[in-house]
């Protein structure tokens, strides 16, 4: 297969850019010095960026090229979901070795484009550069939200209910299994956990639909871990939180992984993970609307606790009624 060294930078860019559809709102797309984009009237622009670094965010042996692109898309799409924004345009930058074959780079971009296209977004530009160490891929994703309807981490108030989508902790468990069991983790018995880690599903359509109900007071995407991201939401809103142990613990897949890894299942649920789920604070009278939207999108949600008026305090209410402090530990790029 031809490598980037064989074809050169400009031929590689030509092959990459000719595969991209123009997309609605793209006045000038790939091939010029910059993209020109046209937001819709009455919408605010929402921007996010995220990266995949080889060995840090993905293990090459566990992700095909197209899956790497899809996972990069998911990381950014989840950020927009947490703002209730509709994805529109993306800018892809890549730092790759000269020995990287061009077909695998095209496959990564195709996987990225498919994942973005499922939510109405297109690649509008980017950058390609050489790297000598670990390869990296960075995506900037732009979206729109109707003015006044955006979600933020601020706004949670005493008595609001806490809701999580999906099954937080599964992605982190899948990653730990891959590192601990290696090829044995590929067995079908671990498939739901490996899918959660390798093929996350950003909750964009659910978020955009739920925003119309006007019941969400604060939101954050759960990409670092439930405890860590809940702490961020509480800090931004100036509130505390209480979580019900029986609502967050008890996932049979996490319990199975916990036995294999020799750790408590609750630690897997609350600790460092990579789920790209959402945690929402909603008004108590919005519970029914939230359940209806989730059902319409065939999405599992759980009401796991409530907001308190003790700023910075995060408590766990155990099954026996005892209360203990939750430590805000999650993924940190610069700590073990």
**CATH number assigned to the domain comprising residue 296:** 3.90.650.10
Number of domains in the chain: 2
To which residue do tokens 């095209």 refer? 106
Does a structural domain hold residue 90?
yes
Same domain for 96 and 236, yes or no, is no
Domain boundary among 146, 177, 192: 146
- Choose one of 146, 173, 208: the last residue of a domain: 146
Residue 83 falls inside a structural domain: yes
Positions of the chain with pLDDT under 50: none
305 assigned to some structural domain: yes
Verify that 108 and 198 share a domain, yes or no.
no
Residue 180: inside a domain, yes or no? yes
136 to each of 3, 51, 78, how far by Cα in Å? 17, 7, 19
Half-sphere exposure of 157 (CA within 13 A, CB side): 6
My answer on whether 71 and 168 are in the same domain is no
pTM exceeding 0.85: yes
Q: Phi and psi (nearest 5°) for 183?
A: -65, -25
Q: Is residue 190 part of a domain?
A: yes
Q: Which domain holds residue 16?
A: 4-146
The CATH number assigned to the domain holding 70 equals 3.30.1330.10
Looking at residue 336, its pLDDT comes to: 56
Domain co-membership, 52 together with 126: yes
pLDDT at 18: 79
Same domain, 142 and 203: no
- In this predicted structure, what is the pLDDT of residue 200? 93
The span from the CA of 250 to the CA of 232, in Å, is 25
Q: Are residues 175 and 105 in the same domain?
A: no
Which of 120, 146, 172 is the last residue in one of the domains? 146
Give pLDDT, residue 335. 61
Same domain, 230 and 289: yes
* Residue located via tokens 């610069």: 334
Residue 166 and residue 135 share a domain: no
CA atoms within 13 A on the CB side of 100: 25
Q: Are 16 and 117 part of one and the same domain?
A: yes
Report helix, strand or coil for 93. Answer: strand
| Phi–psi pair at 4, nearest 5 degrees | -65, -35
């Amino acid at each position: 297969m031809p490598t980037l060294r064989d074809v050169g930078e400009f031929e590689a860019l030509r092959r990459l850019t000719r595969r991209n559809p123009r997309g609605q709102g793209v006045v000038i797309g790939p091939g010029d010095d910059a993209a020109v984009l046209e937001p819709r009237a009455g919408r605010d622009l929402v921007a996010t960026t995220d990266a995949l670094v080889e060995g840090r965010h993905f293990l090459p042996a566990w992700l095909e090229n197209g899956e790497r692109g899809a996972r990069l898309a998911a990381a950014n799409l989840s950020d927009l979901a947490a703002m209730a924004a509709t994805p529109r345009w993306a800018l892809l930058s890549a730092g790759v070795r000269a020995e990287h074959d061009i077909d695998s780079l095209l496959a990564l971009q195709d996987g990225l484009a498919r994942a973005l296209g499922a939510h109405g977004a297109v690649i509008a530009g980017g950058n390609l550069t050489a790297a000598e160490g670990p390869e990296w891929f960075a995506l900037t994703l732009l979206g729109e939200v109707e003015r006044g309807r955006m979600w933020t981490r601020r706004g949670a108030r005493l008595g609001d209910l806490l809701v999580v989508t999906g099954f937080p902790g599964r992605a982190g468990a899948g990653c730990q299994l891959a590192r601990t069991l290696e090829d044995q983790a590929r067995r079908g018995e671990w498939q739901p956990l490996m899918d959660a880690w390798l093929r996350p599903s950003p909750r964009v359509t659910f978020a955009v639909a739920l925003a119309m109900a006007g019941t969400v007071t604060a939101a954050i995407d759960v990409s670092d871990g439930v405890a860590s991201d809940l702490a961020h939401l509480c800090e931004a809103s100036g509130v505390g939180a209480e979580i019900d142990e029986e609502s967050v613990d008890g996932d049979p897949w996490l319990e199975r992984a916990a036995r294999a890894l020799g750790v408590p299942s609750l630690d897997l649920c609350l600790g460092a993970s990579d789920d790209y789920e959402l945690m929402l604070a909603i008004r108590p009278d919005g519970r029914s609307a939230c359940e209806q939207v989730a059902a319409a999108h065939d999405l599992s949600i759980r009401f796991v606790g409530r907001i308190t008026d003790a700023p910075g305090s995060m408590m766990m209410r155990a099954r026996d009624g005892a209360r203990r402090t939750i430590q805000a530990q999650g993924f940190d790029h610069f700590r073990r």
